[in-house]
Amino acid sequence: MHREAVLKTAAQSEFAGALIAQLPALRRYATALSGSIVNGDDLVQDCIERALKQSDRLRDRQKLGGWLRSILHNLYIDELRRKRSRGIEEDITELADNFAISVPPSDSALFHEFTAAMATLSAEHREILLLVGLDGMNYREIAEALHIPIGTVMSRLARARERLRNALENGTGREVANIASLAERRKMRQ
């Protein structure tokens, strides 16, 4: 009995160490996905809480990063659904961590344009861009983390890059015009 308790404690300690090692990347991903440091930190905290409760479900410790991103992604989607059902709420404390406000003035215009352009993308497109650009994941890793085929990853990434490029070239808030211009380009190619 005593030996089992020692082994269990050692496994928990090892899991906690691996979890702590994942925190910086998880926090970057959550902050970029949510667009706010405060919301990102809340997502990470909820993610870690859920991971600790469900640690026995993780079979391969080598896939801890993907497993955590998957949990975080699901929490983010759940939060989006809750917000949709509640309607739009704006907490003024979130303005303190607004990327466009926190960037030095010389760079704020470009950064504001970029964050506004990212905000026009769907959650799926933003997520794919963040996993590739921020976390440096390859197609296979993304497919495994999001439980989607590699072909879907590739097509979402291509569409996300195109929509982001259009949003940056045409200014933000013109998502409908960007989609219309994409449709026109496709017709011209045929």
Residues in the chain predicted with pLDDT less than 70, given as ranges, are: 1-8, 10, 87-109, 172-190
- Integer Cα distance of 24 and 125 in angstroms: 22
**What's the confidence (pLDDT) of residue 174?**
44
Give how far the C-alpha of residue 143 lies from the chain's centroid of Cα atoms, to the nearest Å.
14
Which fold would CATH assign to domain 102-190? Arc Repressor Mutant, subunit A (1.10.10)
**What's the confidence (pLDDT) of residue 155?**
93
Tell me which CATH code domain 1-97 carries.
1.10.1740.10
**What's the confidence (pLDDT) of residue 41?**
93
Question: Would you give the DSSP letter of residue 121?
Answer: S
pLDDT (tens digit per residue) in 81-133: 887 777 666 665 666 666 555 555 555 667 778 888 888 888 889 888 888 88
Tell me the pTM. 0.53
- Integer Cα distance of 140 and 149 in angstroms: 9
**What's the confidence (pLDDT) of residue 65?**
87
- Integer Cα distance of 3 and 147 in angstroms: 38
Judge whether 99 and 108 are in contact, CB under 8 Å.
Answer: no
Residue ranges, comma separated, of all CATH 1.10.10.10 domains in the chain are 102-190
Residue ranges, comma separated, of all CATH 1.10.1740.10 domains in the chain are 1-97
**What's the confidence (pLDDT) of residue 61?**
77
Q: Which residues, 6 or more positions from 168, have their beta carbon under 8 angstroms from its beta carbon?
A: 113, 114, 117
